[in-house]
Amino acid sequence: MRKTPILLGVVLACMPGITSAALSRQVVNYDIHVRLHPETKTLEGRETLVWLNDSNTEVTELPFHLYLNAFKNNRTTFMKESGGLSRGFKADDANWGRITVRSIRLRNGPDLTPTLAYAAPDDGNPDDQTVMRVTLPAPVKPGESAALEIDFEAKLPKVFARSGFVGNFFMAGQWFPKIGVLREGVWNCHQYHAQSEFFADYGVFTVEITVPEAYVVGATGRRVKESRNADGTKSLVYFQEDVHDFAWTTCPDFVESRERFTLDEPKVDTEMIFLVHRAHLGQRDRYVRALRQGLEFYSKKYGAYPYGTITLVDPAPGGMGAGGMEYPTLFTAGTMSFMPRGLRMPEMVTIHEFGHGYWYGIVGSNEFEEAWLDEGINTYSEIKAMSLYYGADRAMIDFPGLKIGDFSYQRLATIGSGRFDPIVRKSWDYISGSSYSLNVYSKAGIMLLTLERVLGEDVMARVMRTYFETWKFRHPRTEDFVRTAEETSGRGLGWFFDQVLHSPDKLDYAVTGLRSEEVQEPKGIFDGKAAAAGKSKTETAAGVDRRTARKPAFRNTVVVARLGEWVFPQEIKVTFADGKEVRETWDGRDRWKKFVYTLPVKLASAQVDPENRYLLDVNFANNSRTLAPTPWAARKYALGFMGWVQHLLSFVSL
Ligand SMILES: [Zn+2]
């Protein structure tokens, strides 16, 4: 093969990754010019990409994501897996989407277009064109860069899954040819799946967007230039460093407003940009308040928000398929024209999607392969933020007589997560879309809340901060989270993580038996001994001496059982009728364990996990039993009712 020096036409000094102020390795540097043609719903793009080989391996092939091809026909992997449905929104047969690479060449060098081939590394689907590869005439060596020039045209689908249009609203997400991630010398470039999100490398984006003058634009990063063109269009240039994706949106019916957010500790100074559709203007204040809360909560808990802007996009009516989605420094929220204050959907979506700016944006885990690292950690964060600002018992729904907190909502979903899949699994390997989301969002979130109760709140806070600090602008894996948790807490947590992350089973401990029987006076025949001597050691041992022998004694039995497969060490609280308490411990391994007390008093109640640490336990109602009517009994009825509601809800897809 012929060596081509032009391939490496980038001087070291301007190579990404070595500027001192950079927060990330800056493996990619994109410069894109894109023009929207609203009538045909198409984008015309010119992209220059400088890609740094930051590995120890030389490469001769470059893979790119062409995500919009997921919407090209009904045989793509995305459409086959989803059946054309995404979160309840349906694909429109009359408005397919696609992206066509017209040409790809090395800057000032050979045309690579003839080498362009589609690949389907995950499922071999010949009808899927969401990944393309080009072959280079000569390898890019470690530390060297390749500069590519790509011409492309994209047609946006009618929006139902994140990206597309409805009327004059356009959401351009995953819209340009995006290079895969070279990880330890191997390309990671998956197809677009129904249940997967994304993965890309950090770098610098400069994007010039041209739209008709009347259109309002929002995009990743800061607007650095704006000019009007003779043809009735305008061109806006956006710039952002240390992000791994770039998204933009436009609509003439957006109303743009800006507010500053500042914080002293830690130091944050950023501009909040709101693009609210005029149909939803009445709810702007709800978005503003929630975004302020998100910025404050995440900055204080994990680390200062590092970017100069954060843009909230409120999709047009009918465009909710684009809603609730994160991109670096920009996210889509969502609401409806009528949204009572007691339904906190706009607040929850705002805090959740802003939160992805941390778990996905700044800490760049692989959403294809380990979605819990962004969705689960973010659900955990969302529950804590929502509970803090809106009340633990009413964060999601808050009407007189009907209140539901975010924790209860996510726990119900956890219970409905089934026993098919573990939390860690490739996104497209889950048995169903609901199994994916119930596991990687809700169950993973509740798992982290359980870990917090096992470690204690202070230790958990340190774990999360350390994980954020260590892995920001990098690509951690599950093992990295586990290692951070173990090292920071100084505890071996294999027993916890091995089960909760990798086994699809359940945690369920119960008090299954509770009995108090009066100890009978000895009766009958006892060979060669006086009747009184016939008492067993156990029955006489516990406080039944001569003076009290005539008073009744009780043989009190408590049986606790492991009903699920997961083994968690247990504490058991046993309460007697005189109010005395005994605490027992059990390693939780056997299927059951019996505790016997012979005493002059009867049992009152017994409870496993009395501190309620194991929030993953799928049935709180069986955690306790009571003999005598006590105040606890009333509470148990309440728990029983909740258990029943949970059971009912487990059949509903959440
Ligand atoms: Zn999410």
What is the pairing mode between strands 309-314 and 330-332?
parallel
Q: What is the pLDDT of residue 636?
A: 46
- The arrangement of secondary structure in 509-629, i.e. its CATH architecture, is Sandwich (2.60)
Q: How far is the CA of 352 from the centre of ligand 1 (A)?
A: 6
Q: What is the pLDDT of residue 596?
A: 98
1-12+23-252 and 509-629: identical CATH topology: yes
Q: How far is the CA of 276 from the centre of ligand 1 (A)?
A: 21
**Strand ranges (E), 199-356:** 203-212, 216-219, 222-228, 233-243, 248-251, 254-263, 268-277, 309-314, 325-327, 330-332
Rounded to 5°, the CA angle 364-370-373 comes to: 55
Q: How far is the CA of 243 from the centre of ligand 1 (A)?
A: 18
Rounded to 5°, the CA angle 191-67-185 comes to: 50
What is the pairing mode between strands 509-518 and 581-586?
unpaired
Q: How far is the CA of 488 from the centre of ligand 1 (A)?
A: 26
Q: How far is the CA of 326 from the centre of ligand 1 (A)?
A: 7
Q: What is the pLDDT of residue 416?
A: 83
* H helix or E strand, kind and range, residue 408: helix 406-415
Q: How far is the CA of 190 from the centre of ligand 1 (A)?
A: 19
d(CA 617, CA 453): 13
Q: How far is the CA of 353 from the centre of ligand 1 (A)?
A: 6
Q: How far is the CA of 204 from the centre of ligand 1 (A)?
A: 24
Taking Cα atoms as reference points, which of 7, 27, 30 lies closest to residue 15? 27
Q: Are 150 and 14 in contact (CB under 8 A)?
A: no
Q: Are 617 and 643 in contact (CB under 8 A)?
A: no
Average pLDDT, 10 consecutive residues per value, the chain (654 residues): 34 41 95 98 98 97 98 97 90 94 96 98 98 97 97 97 97 98 96 96 98 98 98 98 98 98 98 97 96 98 98 96 96 90 96 98 98 98 98 96 95 88 96 94 97 98 98 98 98 98 97 95 79 43 45 94 98 97 98 97 97 96 84 47 46 34
Q: How far is the CA of 449 from the centre of ligand 1 (A)?
A: 17
List the CATH code of the domain at 1-12+23-252.
2.60.40.1730
User: Cα 327 vs. chain centroid, distance in angstroms?
Assistant: 14
Residue bearing tokens 């309460």: 575
Q: What is the pLDDT of residue 418?
A: 82
Q: What is the pLDDT of residue 21?
A: 82
Residues 6+ apart with CB under 8 A from 469: 303
Q: What is the pLDDT of residue 628?
A: 60
Q: Are 312 and 289 in contact (CB under 8 A)?
A: no
Q: What is the pLDDT of residue 6?
A: 33
Domain extents for the chain? 1-12+23-252, 253-505, 509-629
Q: How far is the CA of 349 from the centre of ligand 1 (A)?
A: 9
DSSP letter at 391 equals -
* H helix or E strand, kind and range, residue 359: none
d(CA 34, CA 210): 6
d(CA 379, CA 443): 9
Q: What is the pLDDT of residue 538?
A: 41
Q: How far is the CA of 378 from the centre of ligand 1 (A)?
A: 7
Taking Cα atoms as reference points, which of 158, 166, 172 lies closest to residue 36? 172
Residue bearing tokens 């950023």: 270
Q: How far is the CA of 238 from the centre of ligand 1 (A)?
A: 25
Q: How far is the CA of 375 from the centre of ligand 1 (A)?
A: 5
Q: What is the CATH topology of the domain spanning 253-505?
A: Neutral Protease; domain 2 (1.10.390)
3-state DSSP assignment of residue 178: strand
